[in-house]
Amino acid sequence: YDKYRGIQQEHIMNFNIEKSKEKVYDIIDVEDLAEKTNFCRCWRSKRWPYCDGSHNLHNQLTGDNVASIIMERKPR
């Protein structure tokens, strides 16, 4: 781990979300999800843990290519 410490500090992913917590995690009841739900994977959303499209600006500014994870319910 130590050999990566400096690299990791330069590449913090989470700048703003729940920084007072030791770890950011979310518990979501699948029964509460809409038919299609977009979850943020870029850590830039202002609607965390849901995607608000902020990944588009992040990608423009950094050249990155991240986006949400989309969860869909199977039709019943």
Q: Which residues are catalytic?
A: 23
CB of 67 to ligand FES, least distance (A): 5
**Binder among 1, 11, 16, 68 for ligand FES (CB under 6 A):** 68
| Structural tokens at position 49 | 């843990």
| C-alpha torsion 6→54→34→26, nearest 10 | 30
Residues numbered 17-46 forming contacts with ligand FES, rule: CB under 6 A: 40-42, 44-45
Max CA pair span of the chain: 50
**Binder among 17, 49, 54, 59 for ligand FES (CB under 6 A):** 54
Q: In terms of C-beta density within 10 A (0-12 exposed, 13-18 middle, 19 or more buried), how is residue 52 classed?
A: middle
Q: Is 51 in the site for ligand FES (CB under 6 A)?
A: yes
**Contacts with ligand FES, residue ranges (CB under 6 A):** 40-42, 44-45, 51-55, 67-68
